[in-house]
């Protein structure tokens, strides 16, 4: 026990020092963004919209005053290269195209300026190296290439740098340990994730505090084995960024405390240095009837302590593959395959779910495989997905406006 602790602190002390340093900055920033959000969730505005093409499984991110919904699957199963872009300043939609249509794209932002659409699978399920980069300041698109091709890589936005982590590589049985770091001047450099088992985890970042997590998800049950099975993963990697005057920002990655309740299909987001992971499912053990249990559990990681805590927090309903978004000081859980229209809204200042929401806010259209992005930390957009029990792709967009 004692030894475990020392190892833990040896890993975390440098990280905590960084976290302390950036916290004052972060506190100032969060106070501002927090002030930009209507605190009473009942008072959030609602409006609708339409994508240019109905589709599901899009890659979504936001940057500047924009939300971008890229690629995805059309009703006939083909992959799209369309990017629908919502500009909050203009309150208008426009469209653009990825350099290649594909599925399983990793999406994220970088340096408050660039939207990244990384990797993906072509229509013969071959992983790709392409990264499409959108510059929200100039409106221009450019491309980068990953060091190794992969589908569904995760993007950790650390502020002045982003990490494009892991993904599906080679054949679909195999998970990648590759990391590509992208700097604010769009230089790309590759590295390897320090984990025992290749893992496809969740990426959650708090760009304001320069801390990110790659954790949970699933992993190969035998490292190095090419054709293998997967198991749910407890591996946690903590990314952090150190900025010193006159020096390039330094990105660090270290092993973190294991994820407390490994499961499939959970999702998360971060606000105020609070990282919340909720929902997901468990498989019944071999001795009992094979069955899947969807969970309402929420696990919290604090970038301040570097610990996971098994919180007593519960979602109002079990949710598998929920959409999770940070909106000001709130972390919003919605949707999921166990269809609910209601939102669960966690207030990171009190550490409790907002009570008495009733059905407001709530989704108007039940959907799975939808995408979500939050513009300016206050306008939550849910777009596309499958409707009518997964039979049809929809173009419908729902916008929840919490902006002051």
Of residues 107-136, those binding ligand NAG (CB under 6 A): 136
Q: Tell the smallest beta-carbon distance from residue 179 to ligand NAG (Å).
A: 8
With CB under 6 A as the contact rule, the residue among 36, 139, 252, 284 that binds ligand NAG is 139
Q: Tell the smallest beta-carbon distance from residue 20 to ligand NAG (Å).
A: 26
What gap in Å lies between CA 37 and CA 404, rounded to an integer? 5
Given the rule CB under 6 A, which of 86-94, 109-117, 161-169, 241-249 is the region that contacts ligand NAG?
Answer: 86-94
DSSP string, 42-97: GG-EEEEEE-SS--BS-EEEEETTEEEEE--B-TTSPBP-EEEEEETTTTEEEEEE
What gap in Å lies between CA 389 and CA 369, rounded to an integer? 11
- 361 prior amide bond cis, ω within 30: yes
Q: Tell the smallest beta-carbon distance from residue 262 to ligand NAG (Å).
A: 7
With CB under 6 A as the contact rule, the residue among 142, 192, 291, 310 that binds ligand NAG is 192
Location of structure tokens 């990655």:
253
Local structure of residue 285 (DSSP, 8 states): P
The structure tokens listed for 235 are 């591996």
**Where does 39-176 have alpha helices with state H?**
none
Four-residue CA torsion sign, 337, 339, 342, 346: negative
20 or 310, CB closer to ligand NAG? 310
Given the rule CB under 6 A, which of 68-76, 199-207, 343-351, 356-364 is the region that contacts ligand NAG?
Answer: 68-76
Task: Determine contact, residues 162/181, Cβ cutoff 8 Å.
Answer: yes
Residues comprising the chain, all counted: 404
With CB under 6 A as the contact rule, the residue among 75, 304, 307, 341 that binds ligand NAG is 75
90 binds ligand NAG (CB under 6 A): yes
22 or 213, CB closer to ligand NAG? 213
195 or 271, CB closer to ligand NAG? 195
178 binds ligand NAG (CB under 6 A): yes
What does the buried/exposed string (b/e) look like for 355-378 if buried means 16 or more CB atoms within 10 Å of the residue's CB?
A: eebeeebebeeebbbbbbbbbbbb
Q: Tell the smallest beta-carbon distance from residue 31 to ligand NAG (Å).
A: 26
16 binds ligand NAG (CB under 6 A): no
Q: Tell the smallest beta-carbon distance from residue 76 to ligand NAG (Å).
A: 4
255 binds ligand NAG (CB under 6 A): no
What gap in Å lies between CA 280 and CA 333, rounded to an integer? 12
Cβ contacts of 20 within 8 Å, gap of 6 or more: none
57 binds ligand NAG (CB under 6 A): no
With CB under 6 A as the contact rule, the residue among 20, 95, 190, 310 that binds ligand NAG is 190
Local structure of residue 286 (DSSP, 8 states): T
Of residues 195-254, those binding ligand NAG (CB under 6 A): 234
With CB under 6 A as the contact rule, the residue among 87, 311, 317, 365 that binds ligand NAG is 87
Q: Burial, 81: exposed, middle or buried (Cβ in 10 Å; 0-12, 13-18, 19+)? A: middle
H or E stretch covering 11: helix 2-35
187 binds ligand NAG (CB under 6 A): no
User: Which residues sit at the interface with ligand NAG, rule CB under 6 A?
Assistant: 66, 74-76, 78, 87, 89-90, 136, 139, 147-148, 178, 190, 192, 234, 258, 388, 392
């Amino acid at each position: 026990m004692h030894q475990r602790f020392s190892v833990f602190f040896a890993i975390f002390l440098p990280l905590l020092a960084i976290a302390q340093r950036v916290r004052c900055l972060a506190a100032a920033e969060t106070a501002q963004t927090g002030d930009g959000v209507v605190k009473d969730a009942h008072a959030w505005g609602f409006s609708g919209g339409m994508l240019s093409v109905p589709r599901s499984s899009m890659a979504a991110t936001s940057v500047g005053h924009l939300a971008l919904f890229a690629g995805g699957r059309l009703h006939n199963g083909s992959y799209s290269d369309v990017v629908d872009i919502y500009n909050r300043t203009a309150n208008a939609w426009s469209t653009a195209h990825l350099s290649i249509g594909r599925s399983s794209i990793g999406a994220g932002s970088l340096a408050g300026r660039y939207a990244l659409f990384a990797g993906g699978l072509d229509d013969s399920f071959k992983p790709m190296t392409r990264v499409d980069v959108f510059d929200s300041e100039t409106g221009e698109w450019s491309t980068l290439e990953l060091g190794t091709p992969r589908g569904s890589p995760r993007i950790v936005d650390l502020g002045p740098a982003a990490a494009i982590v892991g993904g599906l590589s080679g054949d679909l049985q195999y998970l990648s340990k590759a990391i590509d770091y992208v700097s604010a001047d769009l230089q790309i450099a590759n590295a390897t994730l320090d984990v025992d088992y290749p893992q496809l985890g969740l990426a959650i970042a708090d760009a304001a505090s320069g801390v990110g997590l790659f954790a949970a998800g699933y992993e190969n049950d035998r490292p190095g084995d090419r054709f293998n099975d997967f198991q749910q993963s407890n591996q946690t990697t903590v990314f952090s960024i150190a900025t010193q005057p006159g020096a390039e920002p330094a990105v660090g990655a270290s092993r973190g405390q294991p994820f407390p309740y490994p499961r499939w299909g959970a999702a998360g987001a971060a606000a105020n240095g609070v990282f919340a992971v909720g929902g997901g499912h468990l498989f019944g053990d071999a001795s009992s009837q094979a069955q899947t249990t969807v969970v309402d559990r929420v696990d919290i990681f604090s970038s301040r302590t570097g610990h996971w805590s098994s919180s007593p927090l519960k979602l109002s309903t079990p949710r598998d593959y929920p959409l999770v978004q940070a909106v000001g000081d709130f972390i919003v859980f919605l949707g999921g395959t166990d269809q609910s229209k209601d939102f669960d809204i966690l207030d990171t200042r009190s550490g409790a779910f907002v009570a008495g929401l009733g059905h407001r806010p709530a989704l108007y259209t039940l959907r799975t495989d939808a995408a979500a992005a939050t513009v300016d930390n206050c306008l939550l957009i849910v777009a596309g997905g499958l409707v009518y029990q997964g039979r049809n792709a929809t173009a419908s967009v729902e916008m929840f406006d919490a902006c002051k």
